[in-house]
Every structure is written in C-alpha cells, then in structure tokens.
C-alpha cells in the first residue's frame, strides 16, 4: 500500500478548502446576506441599516496580527477617500468584542469591527475556515452597493494595497451611476 506523504495530504486539504470556498461565496449581483452583529463597543450593527450607502465589508482572520493590522490601518488611512465616495467600512472576524475593542483602540480604527463569535456570518459569506480546533475568517472583502446587492467580491487580497483597490473600484462604480 503506497504511503501518503505530508505534502500530498496538505495539497489535498488545500484543494478541498479552496473548492468549498468557491462554492459558498455569494456572487456579485445577488443580494448581500443580511445580518446584525455587535461592534467593538457592544452596539448592534445591521447591514440593512446601511441602505443608501456603499459598504466595504471586509472579513479578516485575527485582531492584532501583522496582515490584519496592515489591512485595518490602510482602511483607516484611506477612510476619508472612502467616505467621500459614500462608503462605510466595516471589519468582521470571529474574535470577541473585547479583542476588537483593544485592537481598535491600539490602532485608532474609527470604523466598526464586528464580532462574529459563532461564525454564522462568515459562513454565510463563504469566508469561514473551520479546522475543527482552529476557526477564523478568511481575508475576503465584499463591496455592497446602496441597494444592498453585492457589487464586487475580493477573494485574493493583498493587504498593503487592498484599500486603494477599493477606492479605485468605487470611483469607477460611482461614475457609472
């Protein structure tokens, strides 16, 4: 009986993970799955309440880690441009509200960080990685239009330039309206 190498096993799990992710992600042009989650201050934040505005809904793995910090700080630094384009930025991870509160305070993040502690919203957006003992949100972003539909999805995010990419895309999308 041939032995399975660790490399082959990892490749198999990676293919399974990627194929599941692609099947679960809602498509651009469809209604954004609605939800209500607490932010870092315990205030309930509802996607439906954002109708009439663009929403940059970004999922991220873990508070205060290098990539997540870089992405959050880039959104913070580009917030004025995003706001001028009519967009609200909101981050989501499976961390609790206390973790979000510390993260937001440490880096002066002026936008909501939502706690999806039971991972239900990440699952609905196809952004959940659940490895039995470790569960985190994948680094996905969804651009929700003012009518509540998904205008664009970002499944491969480069943290250093992602917020600029969103600004550029919003400029294009708002020009067409």
| Separation between Cα atoms, residue 135 and residue 129, nearest integer Å | 6
- Statement: residue 2 has pLDDT above 60: no
Where do the domains of the chain lie?
28-176
Pairwise pLDDT comparison (162 vs 177), residue with the higher score: 162
- The pLDDT assigned to 8 comes to 46
Which pTM value belongs to this model? 0.85
Percent residues over pLDDT 70 in the chain: 86
Q: Does residue 68 have an active-site annotation?
A: yes
Q: Which of 102, 103, 56 is nearest to 75 (CA)?
A: 56
| Separation between Cα atoms, residue 43 and residue 41, nearest integer Å | 6
What is the DSSP code (8-state) at residue 149? B
**Where does the pLDDT of residue 167 fall: very low under 50, low under 70, confident under 90, or very high at 90 and above?**
very high
- The pLDDT assigned to 176 comes to 60
Percent residues over pLDDT 90 in the chain: 80
Catalytic residue among 32, 68, 79, 113: 68
Q: What is the pLDDT of residues 46-90, one digit of tens each?
A: 999 999 999 999 999 999 999 999 999 999 999 999 999 999 999
- Statement: residue 15 has pLDDT above 60: no
Q: Which CATH number fits domain 28-176: 3.40.30.10, 3.40.50.2000, 3.40.640.10, 3.40.605.10?
A: 3.40.30.10
Helix, strand, coil percentages in the chain from 3-state DSSP, rounded to 5: 40, 20, 40
């Amino acid at each position: 009986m041939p032995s399975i190498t660790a490399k082959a096993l990892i490749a198999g799990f990676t293919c399974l993970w990627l194929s599941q992710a692609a099947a679960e992600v809602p498509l651009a042009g469809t209604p954004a799955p609605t939800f209500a989650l607490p932010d870092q201050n315990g205030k309930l934040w509802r996607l439906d309440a954002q109708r009439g505005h663009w929403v940059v809904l970004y999922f991220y793995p873990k508070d205060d880690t290098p990539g997540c910090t870089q992405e959050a700080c880039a959104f913070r630094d580009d917030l004025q441009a995003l706001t001028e384009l009519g967009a609200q930025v909101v981050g989501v991870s499976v961390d609790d509200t206390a973790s979000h509160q510390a993260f937001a305070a440490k880096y002066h993040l002026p936008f909501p960080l939502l706690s999806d502690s039971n991972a239900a919203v990440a699952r609905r957006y196809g952004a959940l990685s659940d490895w039995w003992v470790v569960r985190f949100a994948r680094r996905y972003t969804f651009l929700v239009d003012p009518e509540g539909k998904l205008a664009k999805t970002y499944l491969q995010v480069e943290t250093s330039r992602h917020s600029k990419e969103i600004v550029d895309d919003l400029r294009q999308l708002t020009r067409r309206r």
